[in-house]
Amino acid sequence: MAKRDYYEVLGVERNASEQAIKKAYRRLAMKHHPDRNPDDASSEEKFKEASEAAEVLMDAEKRQAYDQFGHAAVGGSGAGGGGGFGSIFEDVFGDIFGGAGGGGRRGGPSRGADLRYVLNLSLEQAFKGWNPTIKVPTLVNCVECHGSGAEKGTSATDCIQCGGMGQVSARQGIFSIQQTCPRCRGQGKIIREPCVKCNGQGRTQETKTLSVKVPPGVDTGDRIRLSAQGEAGAMGGPAGDLYVQMEVRDHDIFTRHGEHLYCDVPVSFVDAALGGELEVPTLDGRVNLKIPSETQTGKQFRLRGKGVNVTQVRGGGIGDLFCRVIVETPVNLSGKQKELLNEFAEHTSEKQRPQQSGWFSRVKRFVDALTD
């Protein structure tokens, strides 16, 4: 019986990408796998056909030969061959059987989980650096059994069902695959006399007190790695790491963007018009800011080197502080003040209000255009 075209088998175009071929094969394998269709010869045949097609089309050399010369060029291929097919086969079996795959040992010590600790700090602490002490609940090696899980004077023995491998062979239709040993649950060891303190777990819950060195210049999202300060590993395995993640709180005065700081500075109407000098805060002291006469609201002044020093955390330099002037309109005016302002307005020309005059000119052009 003549073989069907491999592209037709998988239902893909001849120019299909490797990812598209893999996706098509996974779909067919999940649908026609013999374990999902027991005693169905048709499904078993379709599964074999799809596997053979995927093996060829996922191998660049085989695919090129097939495209040129057809089935004759790859007549020796069969399910389970080399190239890209192996990884597809394992992925599909992971979906069907919950991760069954190669026959390597699963038991024995394993690395502990990494942990994350969110450290809240002020902008001032982020600016200057900080050395806080933190408390982290975690799993540590049991002091009685030193992580083995076995009572003092005893030790774990190899599981008799899997021979200490943590896996056993199982038949899945026409295939033989490896599965987690049900007796030792993949550990490869059996503890006959569990440690009383940790109930055979090898680990106990504890709260660690750790010192963290936060360098100057950190920002929200930055992380500090404390090696081997995460959870202790199972069966005496190495500990994971602890990642301390920075969370810088909002500030009442400053807004931060990278190494630069921004703040709004209220300025009186008189100072904005006549000019003056204001004292403004920075994160390392106060400085004087000179306001030129006729300063408009929104004008931004740059104080170089008054931002955040990020040299230690990003390899950059020192940022700047940007002060935006907000001209403040006086409130609760007295009768005399209103009188003086009215007199001032009478002696003010349009040329002395350039923004207002320009705005009204643009409005007039807009309205005239609508009526044309």
- Top CATH class, 115-248: mainly beta
Contact between 355 and 321 (Cβ < 8 Å): no
- How do the domains of the chain map onto residue ranges? 6-97, 115-248, 255-329, 340-372
Q: How many CA atoms lie within 13 A of 356 on its CB side?
A: 8
d(C-alpha 129, C-alpha 115), whole Å? 23
d(C-alpha 137, C-alpha 230), whole Å? 10
Confidence at residue 175, expressed as pLDDT on a 0 to 100 scale? 60
Confidence at residue 84, expressed as pLDDT on a 0 to 100 scale? 43
d(C-alpha 77, C-alpha 38), whole Å? 25
| The CATH fold of domain 6-97 | Helix Hairpins (1.10.287)
Mean pLDDT by 10 residues, the chain (372 residues): 85 90 88 78 87 88 83 59 46 47 53 94 96 95 90 88 82 66 84 91 93 96 94 87 96 96 94 92 94 93 95 88 94 93 87 78 84 74
Catalogue the E-assigned strands of the chain.
115-121, 133-141, 157-158, 167-172, 175-180, 189-190, 203-211, 223-226, 242-248, 255-257, 260-268, 276-282, 285-291, 300-303, 321-328
| The CATH fold of domain 255-329 | HSP40/DNAj peptide-binding domain (2.60.260)
Contact between 238 and 290 (Cβ < 8 Å): no
DSSP state of 264: E
Confidence at residue 81, expressed as pLDDT on a 0 to 100 scale? 40
Contact between 313 and 319 (Cβ < 8 Å): no
